[in-house]
């Protein structure tokens, strides 16, 4: 498997006049591919959330069953992101991304035929594993093709994929289910993601050096300047290779602080995306399409926020992400309950 995914060998760096044009062409193609591809991948990750009510109404699963099935994806996804994150640093990103999308689509096709808790939990858990190929492949592409001082902006653009995918799932997925039945809540996203897999394989690229291009820090003249203490530590540390460096990173407390923080933020996020549709339909009387449009408001705000905050971290915080994360993650006031009417 590692040989199939392996990144290509470095080629001699080109010095011709077309280097800038080649770099710009690849960067544009890559940011479009990873944003669109990751957005569509979300439809295969969140498909279960749109079909919960028809599955309950049809007596196929209970709400407790759906919680079990849904959690299988998240736990396998968490384990997969850790393991596949290690692999992706050694991989050709476009192969890695395309294969994950393709097998996630197959899992969604299988879910349309899965009507027992055990089978559905197993298939949805496998889907979570292949879903975990996407983010590492996209992040490796961003790090390979976009330099530090501009990475916040382009990461912000890519991060709109989360909200784009959620919104597409809530609106288009709900409409498909209302028209064709719950099975198409899985089959529709599967067809779209197979197309996305092909698009990512065509639009993404391996590392710049494998194409004879300079690394992005050289091309943009954007090299990180370590402090004296950092420079001394680097000089005193023998080269470790990619895998050795990965193990060293796991010893940095800040990495684990970020991981725990992200996990806690995801609790609030997936409380809405996983159960918002069912809540609005069961407790508030919305139709499937109406609930989808209501949740799409949340995703629209996410798109604006991702772009704006990426730009802010680059420009106002000079590419220093920790203080930007602290400020932008602040919550004003306690949670509140909306007392407005459904029609409002």
Confidence of residue 332 (pLDDT cuts 50, 70, 90): very low
pLDDT, average across residues 72-99:
91
What local confidence, expressed as pLDDT, does residue 341 receive? 38
Higher pLDDT pick, 342 / 261: 261
The closest alpha carbon to 44, from 115, 107, 88, belongs to 107
Confidence of residue 344 (pLDDT cuts 50, 70, 90): very low
- Contact by Cβ (8 Å): 182, 55: yes
Quickly count: other Cβ atoms within 10 Å of residue 335's Cβ.
6
Confidence of residue 201 (pLDDT cuts 50, 70, 90): very high
CA distance 77 to 97: 15
**pLDDT tops 90 at residue 145:** yes
pLDDT, average across residues 11-27:
92
What local confidence, expressed as pLDDT, does residue 340 receive? 38
Give 84: exposed, middle or buried? Use CB within 10 Å, 0-12, 13-18, 19+: buried
What local confidence, expressed as pLDDT, does residue 331 receive? 56
pLDDT in tens, 176-188: 998 999 999 999 9
- Contact by Cβ (8 Å): 173, 292: yes
For residue 105, CA distances in Å to 112, 235, 247, 274 come to: 11, 47, 32, 19
pLDDT, average across residues 131-157:
91
CA distance 193 to 188: 9
pLDDT, average across residues 4-22:
89
pLDDT in tens, 166-176: 888 888 888 89
CA distance 241 to 246: 9
Q: What percent of the chain has pLDDT over 90?
A: 44
Domains of the chain in sequence order: 16-217+242-328 (1.20.1250.20)
What local confidence, expressed as pLDDT, does residue 12 receive? 92
């Amino acid at each position: 498997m590692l040989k199939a995914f392996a990144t290509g060998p470095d080629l001699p760096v080109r010095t011709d006049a077309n280097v800038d044009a080649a770099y710009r062409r690849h960067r544009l193609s890559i940011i479009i591919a990873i944003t669109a591809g990751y957005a569509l991948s979300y439809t295969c990750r969140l498909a279960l959330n749109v079909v919960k009510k028809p599955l309950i109404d049809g007596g196929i699963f209970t709400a407790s069953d759906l919680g079990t099935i849904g959690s299988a994806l998240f736990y396998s996804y968490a384990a997969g992101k850790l393991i596949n994150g290690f692999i992706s640093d050694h991989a050709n990103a476009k192969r890695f991304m395309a294969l994950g999308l393709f097998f996630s689509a197959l899992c969604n096709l299988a879910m349309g035929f899965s009507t027992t808790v055990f089978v559905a939990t197993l298939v949805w858990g496998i889907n979570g594993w292949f879903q975990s190929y996407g983010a590492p492949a996209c992040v490796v592409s961003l790090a390979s093709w976009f330099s530090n001082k501009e990475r916040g902006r382009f990461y912000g653009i890519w991060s709109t994929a989360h909200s784009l995918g959620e919104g597409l799932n809530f609106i288009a997925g709900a409409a498909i289910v209302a028209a064709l039945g719950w099975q198409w809540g899985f089959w529709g996203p599967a067809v779209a993601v197979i197309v996305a897999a092909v698009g990512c394989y065509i639009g993404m690229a391996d590392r710049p050096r494998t194409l004879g291009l300079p690394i992005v820090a050289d091309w943009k003249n954007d090299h990180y300047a370590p402090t004296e203490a950092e420079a001394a530590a680097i000089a005193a540390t023998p080269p470790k290779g990619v895998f050795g460096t990965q193990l060293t990173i796991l010893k940095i407390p800040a990495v684990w602080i970020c991981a725990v923080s992200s996990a806690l933020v995801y609790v609030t996020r997936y409380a809405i995306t996983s159960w918002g549709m069912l809540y609005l339909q069961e407790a508030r009387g919305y139709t499937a399409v109406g609930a989808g449009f209501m949740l799409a408001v949340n995703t629209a705000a996410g798109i604006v926020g991702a772009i704006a905050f990426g730009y802010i971290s680059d420009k106002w915080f000079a590419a220093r992400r920790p203080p930007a994360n602290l400020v932008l993650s602040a919550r004003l006031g306690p949670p509140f309950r909306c007392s407005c009417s459904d029609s409002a």
